[in-house]
Chains A and B, each alone.
Chain A
Amino acid sequence: MRRTRLLRLPGVLAVLAALALARGALAVDPTEMPTPELEQRYLALTHELRCMQCQNETLADSPVELAADLRHEIRDMLLAGKSDAEVRAFMVARYGDFILFRPRFTARTAWLWLAPGVLLLVGALVLGRVLRQRAALLPQDLTPVDEDTPN
């Protein structure tokens, strides 16, 4: 695997770029945790942390060595009784927020997390207005509806 390690340097970026669809191999990770609860947390964490070396892959899916090292790190931390939050904090302290596929809710990411709700709210207000307007137009609207073509 070492020979295929992706190196981050400008000259190689061009070569990397030429390898469209560059992922082919997968990580098969036979790590076993002592309890189903730990197993569940291990899987959840490895699936929401990013492999820094790869093109948009999770630690769980990535075949590169660094991802395997980080999976071992997570396993060891969970076995040592660390919480999920502690594992995430450990990763962020070293690799930054980029490693989290679930962005933390902060002042800088609030817009992203609130966007769906705000849009729904605004949409509901606009919808309510349109519905009221159209209902008000109903009495004057005498055009018949052709029921033979139901859609």
Chain B
Amino acid sequence: MNRFLLPMAVFVPLVAILAIGIYHAPEKDIIASPLLGKPAPDFSLPDLADAARTVHAADLRGRWYLFNVWGTWCGGCRAEHETLLEIRRANVLPLVGLDWKDDDAQARAWLTQLGNPYAVVAVDHAGRTAIDYGVYGAPETFLINPQGLVVYKVVGEVTHDVWTREILPRVPRAAFPGT
């Protein structure tokens, strides 16, 4: 082989890699969660509705649910709230909220004002549970199966499309209520 073709031989795959890079650039901020397929981390946190009560992750086992990390300081959470209410109305699987680094009174006011899509909201003042879930921004949403394994993770807003195209198809029809 002509050794002067060698630079070209390096250049061609490089271009391919750069092209793939451009193709993936819009998602480069979304980092795959190492929790996928692993048990959702355990926690025991106060209930937003009643601080005297405790929400245990273990008690949530046995059914499909969405675990949604939010806060009143988070603009994206406000934007996805409509979809969360829609999910509540669909009544397919419950939403469990994690109110992350927030003010309880403000959080309660937010739910009263905008409507409450959550079956229950756990309060994480210290952010310790959010770290266990590998949360690096809000909103983030985890789909968790009856065995307590993380099946899917949404980084950013849950939109209607994400709900119907990414989340719903991952839940077996048998798990739907009324079937």
Contacts and interface: CB of A to CB of B under 8 A. Distances in A.
Partners in one complex: yes
Interface of A: 2-3, 5-13, 52-53, 65-66, 69-70, 73, 92-96, 98
B87 interface: no
A12 B76 CA distance: 8
**Residue in A6, A7, A65 whose Cβ sees the most chain B Cβ within 10 Å:** A7
Contact of A7 (B101, B134, B137): B137
Given A52-B31, A95-B31, A96-B31, A6 B127 contact: no
Q: Interface size bucket, B side?
A: 20 to 34
A9 B35 CA distance: 20
B131 A7 contact: no
Contacts, number: 72
**Residue in B34, B128, B155 whose Cβ sees the most chain A Cβ within 10 Å:** B34
Interface in B68-124: 73-76, 79, 101
Interface of B: 26, 29-35, 73-76, 79, 101, 126-128, 131-134, 136-140, 155-157
Given A13-B29, A95-B134, A7 B74 contact: yes
A18 B80 CA distance: 23
Contact of B33 (A5, A10, A96): A96
A48 B79 CA distance: 35
